[in-house]
Amino acid sequence: MADTPVKGPASYFPSIEQKYGKPIAHWQDLVRGHLPAKHMELVAMLKDDHGMGHGHANAVVAHMLATYKS
């Protein structure tokens, strides 16, 4: 059985972990700690406070919000 390729925001996770040196769980916890907030506010927080690029920040936030249960 072949592995199914990861699609969507989660496809960015390996490069995010490699570039920023922290596991995705770290970034998800940061986003979770700033909820409730709007998508772009969370993206801006990751970019401004943690130096993350827009695409990577957007992927983390999109995935987090899609899977978040309050």
How do residues 4-56 score in pLDDT, each as one tens digit? 788 888 999 999 999 999 999 999 999 999 999 999 999 999 999 999 999 99
- For residue 6, CA distances in Å to 13, 14, 18 come to 10, 11, 17
Block residue for tokens 């899977």: 67
Q: What is the band of 2 on the pLDDT scale with cuts at 50, 70, 90? A: low
Cα distance between the two ends of the chain: 35
pTM of the model: 0.88
Q: Is 57 exposed, middle or buried (0-12, 13-18, 19+ CB in 10 A)?
A: buried
Domain range list for the chain: 10-15+22-67
For residue 13 the two structure tokens come to 């996770």
